[in-house]
Structure 1
Amino acid sequence: MITALLLFWLSIVGIQLIYIFFVYTKTAFYRHPDRNYAVLSYNSADYYSESDDQQGVTVIVCARNELANLKELLPLLNNQDYPTFEILVMDDRSTDGTYAYLENDIPELSRVRAIRIDKEHQHVTPKKYALTIAIKKARYPTVLLTDADCRPASLNWLTEMTEPLIFGSKDITIGFSPYEYYPGLLNLLIRSETLFTAIQYFSLALSGRPYMGVGRNMAYRTDLFFANKGFYTHMNVVGGDDDLFINEVATRSNTFVCLAPDTFVWSKPKTTWAEWRQQKRRHLNVGKYYKTGNKVRLGLLTGSHVLSWAMALVVGLLVVVHALHWYSFSSDEWLLLLVSTGAFILRQLAFWVIVGRISHRLAHTVHWSFIPFMDLLMAVYYGLAGLKTLFNRRKKQIYWR
């Protein structure tokens, strides 16, 4: 029994080492490919034709009661350094004065236009309905998505996120959206989960297995959306307007990963545990609709992460019990215990180095000194989330986003 337990622990740690050394390193050491389409200057007539709407971009912001955020965000979007683009704001039944502001108070924001949604539709969730209408009404064939509570890191955000689509051969660009720093455990948990999720979807995409993006920072061609019939297969699923859509349409060849700091979009995190739990319930509800291969890969990744720590605790208790009762391990058991423990220590060090490097390049999301604690924190989080998903069968209330 002890041998079987140690072999199981060793195999679990082995899976983790495979992911860390052969998947996570794709993001840790990723270099953007040379982009020949970006060599010329925007001032060159050979590079851009003002009359060519095929190179235009529609930035879409879906908002409900986000007046304060829109007042900050829209000027930042309006000033993006790109020749031809529009900003399309979808006002979904707002009651805080958003519509009046969009109609009367933004004459200096020449690129902004707005569409008002006055009612909810039963056949589709509100966010997906708003996005669908926005994409249908978009003037340009490339759309760039963000949220009202987001802030692009630079005026080059639009340019760098859409270059691979407009001047390259890609259909999708997935970017990074870090959360702002606040003191406290909740904020650390949010930033840790954001970093770890980004490591997963970036690394798997760079390994040829793209499965998701985040709607706070993502671009794609509208013809890809229409060819896939939009959100048809998951219209009534709460959430998924970003990851479920990408899960369906992303391939090895059509997806570009953008890790340039100028393309980061900073987001405001939840500040109460209740708000955060509501957000997580929505996200956990979406994962079960992923493709089977994606669920298997993610299951192995998160399951081995949780079990590597759980088995370390079990083995540690086993050693303590043996020491207290003067039991002895056989020579083979001692050897296997040393090998398993060594592999676990190697896994901890490799995780610290590789994830620390990724965190450094992704806006220092989590300070390197907190990476070991984040490692354990995420193991506990995923373990509890998995148990909650397994046993919670209550009907969820539908929220806007």
Structure 2
Amino acid sequence: MLTIIFFFFIAIVVIQLSYYLGIFAKFSFAKPQNFTSKKISVSVIVCAKNEEENVKKYIPILAEQNYPDFEIVLIDDASSDETLEVFEEFEKTYPNIRLVKVKNNEAFWGNKKYALTLGIKAAKKEYLLFTDADCYPTSNEWITAMTSQFTMNKTIVLGYGGYEKIEHSFINKIIRFETVLTALQYFSWAKIGNPYMGVGRNLAYKKEEFFNVNGFIKHIQVRSGDDDLFINEAANAHNTTISFTPESFTYSKPKETYKEWFNQKRRHVSTAKFYKMFDQIQLGIFYCSQFLFLLLAIILFAFQFQWMIVLPLFLLRYLASWLVVGFSAKKFQEKDLTIWFPVLEIVLIFTQINIFITNIFSKPVHWK
């Protein structure tokens, strides 16, 4: 039995190295990216539901972007707080703000995709740039940096949406590490020609891409996925690129407790079962191989079976993954996470297992 486990461990190490060195390294070791303004007309789209305090802080930051031709489409998705009133004040203050008021629709009640569809249709510009109501860009060059990656062929741009750093908070490190690892994956797969997801905190595409796939119609009844399910359907090797200059980043306030973050990740993970089959398989193999690498290594070390071979393979995998994740974290300006990599990875592995099991027995709560 130990012999079988030993050879299985070798296979798992090969799989892990294939991911880290064969795929993720394409982004991790990529040259720095530059940007220059394309001066195209842009609609920045923000959908909000009961986000009164956040929109007060962040919409002025969007309105003050250093860009010659843009509008901001503010979508109030039937908020029960003062979000709509705040939006109406902004509409009076800024001439380039367009307001879309969404009333509850019986067929699409509580569905963010319905609200976004109305906002996209109301947008006057051909290029759309999305962020969430609780997000803010890192600089006033955000629109320039994101839209600079558009070309005649590249009509979808995937950006990085990070979370604020909280000093002396371990849960904050876990949240930011998971965000870095997720971005590393979808940036790397996009770079090798198989884009499979993006995040609504920072995403851009030409309006025609939305109508080419009939918007969100194929997954309109799925409460989440206005970002990743849309990209999974619409993006391909020819029309998709990435933006990873620091000026193109957005940030949002992270959850402060493990329970809050756990429930948030449950919602995110629940959409993966609607991805294309290849994407489900590649994600499944990666996360399963992560867990099996750790489990099989513990078994082999416990019995000291072929430890002179197991130990170098164990260290090789950790060295490769540490370097790849470390260089990516530096690109995302999260290099403080690098030293914590082994611990954070272990915590994240068991959290993902917990999320998978929990989602089997109960459904996560989505946009209300």
What is the TM-score when the length of structure 1 is the normalising length? 0.86
Structure 1 residue 102: Cα displacement: 2.1
Please name the residue that 1:294 is paired with: 279
Aligned pairs for 1:39-54 (under 5 A) are: none
| Contact 2:91 2:98 (8 Å CA) reproduced | no
Structure 1 residue 140: Cα displacement: 0.6
Closer/same/farther in 2, CA of residues 238 and 318 from structure 1, 3 Å limit: farther
Structure 1 residue 163: Cα displacement: 2.3
Aligned residue among 232, 237, 244 for 1:247: 232
Please name the residue that 1:260 is paired with: 245
Please name the residue that 1:346 is paired with: 316
Letter matched to residue 68 of structure 1: E
Matched, 1:190 2:143: no
Matched, 1:15 2:28: no
Letter matched to residue 265 of structure 1: T
| Contact 1:240 1:286 (8 Å CA) reproduced | yes
Distance in 2, matches of 1:6 and 1:174, equals 40
Aligned pairs for 1:349-368 (under 5 A) are: 349-364=319-334, 366-368=336-338
Letter matched to residue 217 of structure 1: N
CA displacement, residues 242-263 of structure 1 (integer Å, 9 cap, x when unaligned): 0000001111111111110000
Structure 1 residue 356: Cα displacement: 0.8
Matched, 1:103 2:73: no
CA radius of gyration, larger in: 1
Aligned residue among 135, 139, 144 for 2:129: 144
CA RMSD of aligned residues (A): 2.0
Aligned pairs for 1:108-127 (under 5 A) are: 108-123=93-108, 125-127=110-112
**Which runs of 5 or more structure 1 residues have no equivalent in the other structure?**
49-54, 320-332
Closer/same/farther in 2, CA of residues 240 and 130 from structure 1, 3 Å limit: same
**Which runs of 5 or more structure 2 residues have no equivalent in the other structure?**
none
CA displacement, residues 271-310 of structure 1 (integer Å, 9 cap, x when unaligned): 2333223212211210101101111111111111111011
Structure 1 residue 397: Cα displacement: 4.3
Distance in 2, matches of 1:105 and 1:125, equals 24
Structure 1 residue 57: Cα displacement: 0.7
CA displacement, residues 170-217 of structure 1 (integer Å, 9 cap, x when unaligned): 110000011001232321221111111111111111121110000000
CA displacement, residues 216-236 of structure 1 (integer Å, 9 cap, x when unaligned): 000001111011011111111
Matched, 1:179 2:149: no
Matched, 1:378 2:344: no
Structure 1 residue 124: Cα displacement: 6.5
Distance in 2, matches of 1:277 and 1:302, equals 17
What is the TM-score when the length of structure 2 is the normalising length? 0.94
Distance in 2, matches of 1:385 and 1:311, equals 22
Closer/same/farther in 2, CA of residues 103 and 387 from structure 1, 3 Å limit: closer
Please name the residue that 2:219 is paired with: 234
Please name the residue that 1:83 is paired with: 68
| Contact 1:125 1:236 (8 Å CA) reproduced | no
Please name the residue that 1:329 is paired with: none
Distance in 1, matches of 2:109 and 2:277, equals 24
| Contact 2:76 2:100 (8 Å CA) reproduced | yes
Aligned pairs for 1:381-396 (under 5 A) are: 381-389=351-359, 392-396=360-364
Distance in 2, matches of 1:212 and 1:365, equals 24
Aligned residue among 131, 142, 147 for 1:162: 147
Aligned pairs for 1:50-65 (under 5 A) are: 55-65=40-50
Distance in 1, matches of 2:225 and 2:90, equals 33
CA displacement, residues 57-107 of structure 1 (integer Å, 9 cap, x when unaligned): 110000011122112211111111211110011011122222222223553
Matched, 1:29 2:14: no
Any idea what SS the aligned residue of 1:178 has?
strand
Distance in 2, matches of 1:101 and 1:355, equals 41
The worse-fitting range, judged by mean Cα deviation, of 121-130 and 261-270 is 121-130
Any idea what SS the aligned residue of 1:122 has?
helix
Distance in 1, matches of 2:216 and 2:55, equals 26
CA displacement, residues 141-167 of structure 1 (integer Å, 9 cap, x when unaligned): 1110001111101111101211232x4
Distance in 1, matches of 2:61 and 2:363, equals 40
Identical-residue share of aligned pairs (%): 37
| Contact 1:214 1:243 (8 Å CA) reproduced | yes
Distance in 2, matches of 1:310 and 1:94, equals 47
Structure 1 residue 116: Cα displacement: 1.2
For this pair of structures, how many residues does the alignment match? 367
